[in-house]
Amino acid sequence: MSRTETTERQGWLIAAGIGLLAVLGLGRSCLYVTPPGHATVVFNTFSGLQKGRVELPGVIFVVPGINTPVTYTVLTRVWEFTDNPASANSISNAITVNTADGQAFSIDVAIALKPNPDTLDELHATIGENYLSTVVVPVVRSKVRDISASFESEDFYRKSQRAAIEQQALALIQQEMPTVKRDGQTLPLLQVEGVFLGSPNFPEALRDSIERKQVASISAQTAAVQAQIQEKETERLLILAAANQRAIELKGQAAAQNAKLADLLFYETLQERIQNPTSSAPPLRIIRVEGDATLFLNVDPYQAALQTAQ
């Protein structure tokens, strides 16, 4: 093979390699991958946004220069309204609220939301990628302020009341989110899943006043509980005393009517005192009824038993 033929062959091989690379590059540019947790809408240079086309994670075919894919994260994310510069998900400053008792303070607020994958094309067409700053921020700030005006400053300290504020704020924010009607249904463009209040930044004087009220309230509740316990214990003792008194009366009445029962009560008491002697026990005092005569005994049964044994 001559040198000329060899050169020509090498030239063809180089051209074929370049062509193959070009084809591979073109093919790669025609493929677009939507990663997991995301969804993609497609904008056509000539016809605009392709309505009704929302691509889920995977590979799609696009025409370079004509089709432009736009990908959104459709996982739930928590965004914060805070003045903390270290927050990675901050979208605005802390919200300043005015409460029903005329107090003003700022509070951190977090909101959990995500774009609705079923209406992602409408979200992109009507609002765009800046939906956080154009919709979420103004709606959340407005509704949190509206709800806070119905509560007093102390309510932001109470767990139950904080939960009520969060639930009411969530309901109002969900109502204000943009929607679209499809197939006779009203679907939200953004799905708001939760609203969470952080610690209120009370002025020092207000914080001290609320803390004193909380301490006084806890002390009053503790005193009330102790009073109830004492009342129940007193009631229990009175009932027990009345029951014991009634039992003694019934035994006395029965013993007065039956001499054998009187003997039985006497020996039961005597046996208990002999088996469980105590130095501090008072002398035994029993009334026995024998026929028409009444016999009074006032002896220590333990000492009497010892004397009998001797």
Please tell me the predicted confidence (pLDDT) of residue 243.
73
Q: What is the DSSP secondary-structure string of the chain?
A: --HHHHHHHHHHHHHHHHHHHHHHHHHHHTEEEEPTTEEEEEEETTTEEEEEEEEPSEEEE--TTTEEEEEEE-S-EEEEE---TT-TTEEEPPEEEE-TTS-EEEEEEEEEEEE-GGGHHHHHHHT-TTHIIIIIHHHHHHHHHHHHTTS-GGGGTSHHHHHHHHHHHHHHHHHHS-EEEETTEEEESEEEEEEEEEEEE--HHHHHHHHHHHHHHHHHHHHHHHHHHHHHHHHHHHHHHHHHHHHHHHHHHHHHH-HHHHHHHHHHHHHHHHHS--TTPPPEEEEEEETTEEEEEEE-HHHHHHHHH-
pLDDT tens-digit readout, 38-55: 999 999 888 888 888 899
Distance of alpha carbon 21 from the chain centroid: 58
Task: Name the residue with higher pLDDT: 137 or 16.
Answer: 137
Residue 223 in tokens: 């005193």
Checking if the pLDDT of 211 tops 50, the result is: yes
Distance of alpha carbon 224 from the chain centroid: 28
Please tell me the predicted confidence (pLDDT) of residue 46.
87
What is the mean pLDDT of the segment spanning 4-31?
57
CATH code of the domain made up of 76-202 = 3.30.479.30
pLDDT tens-digit readout, 127-159: 999 999 999 999 999 999 999 999 988 888 788
Please tell me the predicted confidence (pLDDT) of residue 23.
46
Show Cβ contacts of residue 234 under 8 Å, excluding neighbours closer than 6 positions.
Answer: none
Please tell me the predicted confidence (pLDDT) of residue 116.
96
Cβ burial, residue 221 (10 Å; 0-12/13-18/19+): exposed
When the pLDDT of each residue in the chain is averaged and rounded to a whole number, the result is 77
Please tell me the predicted confidence (pLDDT) of residue 45.
86
Residue spans of the domains in the chain: they are 3-71, 76-202, 213-257, 258-310
Cβ burial, residue 288 (10 Å; 0-12/13-18/19+): middle
What pLDDT band is residue 248 in, cutting at 50, 70 and 90? low
pLDDT tens-digit readout, 93-126: 999 999 998 888 899 999 999 999 999 999 999 9
pLDDT tens-digit readout, 274-284: 556 655 554 54
What is the mean pLDDT of the segment spanning 267-274?
59
Show Cβ contacts of residue 199 under 8 Å, excluding neighbours closer than 6 positions.
Answer: 107, 108
Percent of the chain with pLDDT over 90: 38
Checking if the pLDDT of 292 tops 80, the result is: no
Please tell me the predicted confidence (pLDDT) of residue 286.
45
- Give which of 111, 115, 22 is closest to 72, Cα–Cα: 115
Please tell me the predicted confidence (pLDDT) of residue 107.
93
